[in-house]
Structure 1
Amino acid sequence: MKLIRLAVAAGTVAAAAVLAAAMLVAPSGALAAAGDGSPTDPNIRFAGRWDTRDRTAYVPGWAGAYLRTGFTGTTVKLKQRNTIDLYYSLDGGPDVYLQNVRGTVNLTPNPLPAGTHSLRVSYRVVAGSYHGDAVFQGLVLDSGARTLPAAPRRGMVEFVGDSITVGTTTSKNALTAYGWLVGEQLGLDHMQVAQGGACLVSSADGCVGLDRRFVKVSAADGAADHDFTRYQADVVVINLGTNDVGHSVSTTQFQSAYVGLLRTIRGKYPKAAILALKTFRGRYVPQTQAAVQTVNNAGDRNVFFVNTDGWVPADGLSDSVHPNDTGHRAIAAKLAPIVTAHLPASPTPTPSVSPTQSPQPTPSVTPSPTSSGTPGACAVQYKITNQWSGGFQGEVQLTNTGADPLNGWALRWTFADGQHIDQGWNGAFSQSGATVTVTNPAWSPALLPGASATLGFTGTWNGANTAPASFALNGAGCALT
């Protein structure tokens, strides 16, 4: 059966018959034409790791893989093999959850208005006790309808981790995990190379180790190698180490494996920024920092340790380990500006937006602000969150202690020891000599009374790295806390 039937004008029936016959006798592995809705249709964009060896049935690996496409007409159906749970979104709307569906699944029980539409499909993570058949076999559209190229995204961010990165215990699993949230907030393609119970180190007792499996298309034993030419990540975020303690991984083993993983990722993504998160339970922290410093000292300065202290609020856990929906949203709020700061200077154009979507805010240089609040009604806390030979990571928390909102702000300080900021996030940074100025980010101009903004940055130092002695907000001094 053809996936999309072609509308044929009078007088071209014979030609259409020849075309149909050619399609029916074509080998199953043949490449499809753009617009036909088959797995090889180039208008369908597959984000993340997919096993594409069978051109009639693409299989997603790991968590968070999804497909996107545009299409014309009023209906769209999904061709499945055996029973599976899945999420789908039409025209940027809320994700709809379908359980135990198979065969030709109608995603438009209520037909759409005639015109151009967008579709995103994500399958439930096949892991643990769940063994659904996540296999994409194509789309069925209206007669005469066709797929359209998926809207381009600004870039690609990949998240590497365990059940926390999967989104275990959240309401929609991978779709309510911090990685998915960050990717969607920033308008990026995104992927969670994560498995419940995964470790960094492949252990003798069978723990899935990302030190070896990162290069695979899935976590399954015997999985094929992933084809890294399918996409290049701009930023890779690692959150590993929570489970290694339970598998008797020594600190020496962990540090060595972490260095190895960093080097593997660098080999696959030569230009990506790599962010090594401090695990939320604080495990193997010195070893993670030492691994980052090892590759930094070897010349790879595009790898960073990220301190996550305070990222998960008191009500942000569903148990003693896993963040709930509130926790993942809080993590995403902290992580998104850091990812933004490490995106390439010239990302791909902002994606086109479907009729029911609003464009994602794009960070830009902020003009000199004007403030309606009381100048200098502020408090500042400065701290160094990580330091290594010649480099450091810092954080400045700015609080509006006045009675009025600050509708635009500029914070200024002067370094005493020649420190220089390389890059910053959650604000627009500039430096002239020893003086640093940070203005509000374009997407968050106001700072309400009692509210705080946390500014992060990385920089260099030589000889000493003392804290600035004073800070000024819009020209007036702030209290140091």
Structure 2
Amino acid sequence: MVLNYSIGFSHHQRSSPAWKGKPVQTTCRPGTSSPGRHRLRSRLRHKLRVLLVTVLAASLLPWVGGALASAAHVVHPVPEDGSVFDPDIVYVGRWDTTTSPTAYTPYWAGAYFRVGFTGRTVGLKQRGTVNLWASIDGGSAKLYKNVSGVVNLTPVPLSPGRHTLQVNYQAIAGYYHGDAVFQGLVLGRGETTFTPPARTRLIEFVGDSITVGLTTSQQARTAYGWLIGERLGADHTQIAQGGACLVATADGCVGLQRQFTRLGPLLSSPAWDFSRYQADAVVINLGTNDVGHGVHTPTFQAAYISLLHEVRAAYPHAWIFALRTFRGRYAAQTQAAVSAVVSAGDSRVSFVNTAGWLSPADFTDGVHPTDQGHRIIAGRLAPIIAARIGAA
């Protein structure tokens, strides 16, 4: 029996273990005596014996009957196996990684994962029927519609070697189309995963259906937030919901001022753990829908100030960009909210005046930008963000 285990690494870590595939080495400082080196070797041998006994004991626990077996700690398989907790899989956005030990679920629009893999084939394990996008080696994304179970992403095998994969689930107005529950990768015999190239920046986009990318050809993937992130070589999130307001209203409008701190858009969603990732920039585009729900301007301005405080508490070092809505709604109140927090001492907040960015031809329905409209927004906004946080 061959036993493989991961030791001491959380499945929430985004980077692969430093020791992966490398022999453990010890180095003595100059001048260390021979007895000192001997003691160091003895201590290392002792620790390795203890570690071996611990791992062996853990491997036997599942076969022990009775209450001891039921209470045994579950030991995760060795990294590089493609399981959902494989640390080589980089999850971007808000994913539920705690409800199930064998499946992860994304929330909000535009969540995705990135991973590297060796070999010629790769697939996904999906709990139920879903629409998803997959891109291999940075190529054009392919839409897989109504797929479930084992989803083969390489019906034509790839060339041998190292490859990268990016997957996101199709969102319609902020809700995923189908059962967006990921149960791991399917790798070929002898294939392993590896950590994909690191991205040193993360930009979070907070908004409504415009930020979701509603009416565009690929929804979240063709929305300005996704385009900006990819253009700047940054990871990106879209904490956005179709029909969302800034202010939660009695007639049911989802209020981002309240839901921003939550895993998902539902009132029952648990609080989000902001230690999971830190954004370098946050872009807020809210106010288009509040008018239709009767939100008064003083209420809007106060709620915007509150949201800016919440974002700052979540991301102490992020630069915050508050956009004038593309239809100009609550523009004065948005700018006044920014001025208020800047005057109170937060110098890393900017109001972005988007007046004149889009023409009537850049909208599908007078509200939602076309693909071209989103590209225009990305072209105007990306340099503003890059000037503050840089680009890869």
> Is TM > 0.5 for Structure 1 vs Structure 2?
yes
SS in 1 for 2:295: coil
SS in 1 for 2:163: strand
SS in 2 for 1:264: helix
SS in 2 for 1:229: helix
Asked if 1:202 is matched to 2:243, the reply is no
Amino acid of the residue matched to residue 43 of structure 1? D
Match of 2:371 in 1: 325
Match of 1:134 in 2: 180
Asked if 1:310 is matched to 2:356, the reply is yes
Residues 373-419 of structure 1, C-alpha deviation per residue, up to 9 Å, x if partnerless? xxxxxxxxxxxxxxxxxxxxxxxxxxxxxxxxxxxxxxxxxxxxxxx
Amino acid of the residue matched to residue 171 of structure 2? V
Share of identical aligned residues, percent? 57
Structure 1 Cα separation of the partners of residues 291 and 77 of structure 2: 48
Structure 1 Cα separation of the partners of residues 304 and 296 of structure 2: 12
Structure 2 Cα separation of the partners of residues 304 and 262 of structure 1: 11
Query: Where in structure 2 are the equivalents of 1:352-371 lying within 5 Å?
Result: none
SS in 2 for 1:65: strand
Aligned match for 1:37, one of 82, 105, 113: 82
> How far apart are residue 224 of structure 1 and its match?
1.7
Higher relative contact order (CA 8 A, sep 6+): 2
| Cα gap change, 1:110 to 1:23, in 2 (>3 Å) | farther
Structure 2 Cα separation of the partners of residues 52 and 279 of structure 1: 34
Residues 342-400 of structure 1, C-alpha deviation per residue, up to 9 Å, x if partnerless? 106xx7xx4xxxxxxxxxxxxxxxxxxxxxxxxxxxxxxxxxxxxxxxxxxxxxxxxxx
Residues 181-218 of structure 1, C-alpha deviation per residue, up to 9 Å, x if partnerless? 00000100000000000000011111110001001111
> How far apart are residue 29 of structure 1 and its match?
5.8
Match of 2:97 in 1: 52
Query: Where in structure 2 are the equivalents of 1:57-72 lying within 5 Å?
Result: 57-72=103-118
Structure 2 Cα separation of the partners of residues 128 and 44 of structure 1: 23
> How far apart are residue 30 of structure 1 and its match?
4.3
> How far apart are residue 247 of structure 1 and its match?
0.7
| Cα gap change, 1:24 to 1:315, in 2 (>3 Å) | farther
Aligned match for 2:300, one of 223, 245, 254: 254
Structure 2 Cα separation of the partners of residues 106 and 24 of structure 1: 32
Match of 1:270 in 2: 316
Amino acid of the residue matched to residue 271 of structure 2? D
Structure 1 Cα separation of the partners of residues 331 and 270 of structure 2: 32
Aligned length: 329
| Cα gap change, 1:157 to 1:56, in 2 (>3 Å) | same
Match of 2:329 in 1: 283
| Cα gap change, 1:74 to 1:272, in 2 (>3 Å) | same
SS in 2 for 1:118: strand
Structure 2 Cα separation of the partners of residues 32 and 126 of structure 1: 35
Aligned match for 1:218, one of 264, 268, 281: 264
Query: Where in structure 2 are the equivalents of 1:104-183 lying within 5 Å?
Result: 104-125=150-171, 131-183=177-229
Contact between 2:174 and 2:212, CA under 8 Å: does it hold in 1?
no
Amino acid of the residue matched to residue 52 of structure 1? T
Query: Where in structure 2 are the equivalents of 1:287-436 lying within 5 Å?
Result: 287-343=333-389, 350=392
Match of 1:377 in 2: none
SS in 2 for 1:241: coil
| Cα gap change, 1:187 to 1:128, in 2 (>3 Å) | closer
Amino acid of the residue matched to residue 337 of structure 1? P
Residues 315-335 of structure 1, C-alpha deviation per residue, up to 9 Å, x if partnerless? 211111000101000000000
SS in 1 for 2:380: helix
Runs of 4+ in structure 1 deviating by more than 4 angstroms, as ranges, are 21-30, 126-131
Q: Structure 1: where are the runs of 5+ without partners?
A: 5-17, 351-481
Match of 1:97 in 2: 143
Q: Structure 2: where are the runs of 5+ without partners?
A: 5-55, 64-68
Residues 135-193 of structure 1, C-alpha deviation per residue, up to 9 Å, x if partnerless? 11100101111110121013000000000000000000000000000000010000000
| Cα gap change, 1:196 to 1:152, in 2 (>3 Å) | same
Structure 2 Cα separation of the partners of residues 278 and 84 of structure 1: 35
* Alignment root-mean-square deviation, CA: 2.2
| Cα gap change, 1:151 to 1:241, in 2 (>3 Å) | same
> How far apart are residue 131 of structure 1 and its match?
4.9
SS in 1 for 2:362: coil
Contact between 1:28 and 1:56, CA under 8 Å: does it hold in 2?
no
SS in 2 for 1:260: helix
Structure 1 Cα separation of the partners of residues 212 and 226 of structure 2: 9
Amino acid of the residue matched to residue 78 of structure 2? A
Amino acid of the residue matched to residue 154 of structure 2? T
Task: Give the TM-score of the pair, scaled to structure 2.
Answer: 0.80
| Cα gap change, 1:191 to 1:205, in 2 (>3 Å) | same
Structure 1 Cα separation of the partners of residues 367 and 308 of structure 2: 25
SS in 1 for 2:110: coil
Amino acid of the residue matched to residue 166 of structure 1? V
Residues 74-104 of structure 1, C-alpha deviation per residue, up to 9 Å, x if partnerless? 1001000010000000011000001000001
> How far apart are residue 126 of structure 1 and its match?
5.8
Structure 2 Cα separation of the partners of residues 29 and 204 of structure 1: 45
> How far apart are residue 31 of structure 1 and its match?
3.5
